[in-house]
């Protein structure tokens, strides 16, 4: 079986190929004139880095070149790499057991699937896990989490469709406490009628978790879908205003060229991407290492074998 690193590299190849085509391959052996910087900025935007972040990257690069003196385009690209690495180096937040994890994000991004993947992963790390079906809005949502819970073998607390999500979370916390569970993962509905509505719903759930979850660490995870490109960034901003985000999971990194979106998401929000989804099975979730990701964007293929097993 291919190593995790190989599998990741393979699944992310559309994103990394796209970046190489737009950035490294077109910008080597070039004069560092205005055209160079304009094209760089444009190609960063086309690589889904977002306008704000692209402008920031190019400004930082110009500044650093000014400080360090004349250089050729190869050296500028190396500098670019280190600037981008600095921008995404946000420390991940430790979780102290027991934990209540609230998973938020709009419909269809992959929340329920990600919860199953996370449950399986935490259990394989020796943790006891429980999931709460607090997306009571859609008829199929509770059923879907139930199927996943059976598949990965995790306890589930649920109610009927249309039940109050806060009451499901209330019951789940009581049950998690009684059973001494390490991690309670709460699914939520992805309705996003408008921002006020979202804020109200999430703050209601947050209040219940705060009030009932004494003694539990709280960890809020945002799930976003890489294939939506800039929309993932817009959702990130909206949710970041509505709830304290501790981490992000970027799904559907397989088969999209738009994975570069993780960079502005991390640098703009200052929230780390903890995991990426690279497929539809419970095994298709891998820890995200921002530095390694940047390495992969610039890598020409000669991979360090020592890193292959992890």
Ligand X SMILES: Nc1nc2c(ncn2[C@@H]2O[C@H](COP(=O)(O)OP(=O)(O)O)[C@@H](O)[C@H]2O)c(=O)[nH]1
Cβ nearer to Mg ion, comparing 36 with 137: 137
Integer Cα distance of 212 and 194 in angstroms:
27
Identified binder of ligand X from the candidate list 47, 53, 136, 251, rule CB under 6 A? 251
By the rule CB under 6 A, 113 interacts with ligand X? yes
Stretch in the footprint of Mg ion (CB under 5 A) among 7-15, 107-115, 172-180, 258-266: 107-115
Integer Cα distance of 14 and 3 in angstroms:
19
CB 181 within 8 A of CB 215: no
Cβ nearer to ligand X, comparing 57 with 116: 116
Stretch in the footprint of Mg ion (CB under 5 A) among 45-53, 106-114, 226-234, 245-253: 106-114
Burial class from Cβ neighbours inside 10 Å (0-12, 13-18, 19+) for residue 193 reads exposed
Identified binder of Mg ion from the candidate list 16, 18, 24, 112, rule CB under 5 A? 112
Computed from CA positions of residues 247, 249, 253, 259, in that sequence, does the dihedral angle turn out positive or negative?
Answer: negative
By the rule CB under 6 A, 259 interacts with ligand X? no
By the rule CB under 5 A, 113 interacts with Mg ion? no
The partner residues of 220 in beta bridges, in order of sequence, read 102
Residues sharing a CB contact under 8 Å with residue 76, sequence separation 6 or more, in sequence order:
27, 32, 36, 61, 65
By the rule CB under 5 A, 136 interacts with Mg ion? no
Integer Cα distance of 279 and 297 in angstroms:
20
Residue whose CB is nearest to ligand X in the complex, by number: 277
Stretch in the footprint of ligand X (CB under 6 A) among 42-50, 124-132, 151-159, 246-254: 246-254
Integer Cα distance of 141 and 147 in angstroms:
10
User: Binding partner of residue 254 among Mg ion, ligand X, none, CB under 5 to 8 Å per kind?
Assistant: ligand X
Q: What's 259's DSSP letter?
A: G
Q: What's 226's DSSP letter?
A: G
User: Binding partner of residue 87 among Mg ion, ligand X, none, CB under 5 to 8 Å per kind?
Assistant: none
Stretch in the footprint of Mg ion (CB under 5 A) among 24-32, 105-113, 166-174, 291-299: 105-113
By the rule CB under 6 A, 279 interacts with ligand X? yes
> Rule CB under 6 A: which residues touch ligand X?
105, 107-113, 190, 251-252, 254, 277-280, 284
């Amino acid at each position: 079986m291919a190593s995790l690193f190989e599998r990741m590299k393979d699944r992310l190849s559309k994103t990394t190929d796209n970046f190489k085509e737009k950035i490294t391959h077109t910008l080597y052996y070039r004069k560092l004139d205005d055209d160079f910087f304009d094209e760089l900025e444009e190609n960063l935007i086309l690589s889904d880095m977002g306008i704000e972040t692209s402008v920031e990257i190019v400004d930082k690069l110009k500044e650093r070149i000014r400080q360090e003196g004349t250089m050729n385009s190869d050296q500028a690209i190396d500098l670019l790499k280190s600037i981008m690495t600095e921008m995404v180096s946000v420390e991940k937040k430790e979780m102290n057991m027991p934990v209540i994890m609230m998973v938020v994000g709009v419909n269809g991004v992959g929340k329920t699937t990600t919860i199953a993947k996370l449950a399986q992963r935490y259990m394989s790390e020796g943790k006891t896990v429980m999931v709460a079906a607090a997306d009571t809005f859609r008829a199929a949502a509770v059923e879907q989490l139930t199927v996943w819970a059976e598949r990965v073998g995790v306890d589930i607390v649920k109610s009927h469709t249309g039940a109050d999500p806060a009451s499901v979370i209330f019951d789940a916390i009581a049950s998690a406490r009684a059973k001494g569970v390490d991690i309670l993962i709460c699914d939520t509905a992805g309705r996003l009628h408008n921002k006020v509505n979202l804020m109200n719903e999430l703050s209601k759930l947050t209040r219940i978790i705060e009030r009932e979850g004494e003694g539990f660490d709280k960890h809020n995870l945002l799930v976003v879908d890489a294939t939506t490109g800039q929309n993932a960034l817009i959702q990130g901003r909206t949710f970041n205003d509505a709830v304290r985000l501790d981490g992000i999971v970027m799904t559907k990194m397989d088969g999209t060229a738009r994975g570069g979106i993780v960079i502005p998401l991390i640098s703009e929000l200052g929230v780390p991407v903890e995991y990426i989804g690279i497929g539809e099975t419970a095994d298709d979730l891998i820890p995200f290492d921002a530095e390694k990701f940047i390495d992969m964007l610039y890598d020409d293929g000669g991979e360090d074998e020592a890193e292959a097993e992890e």
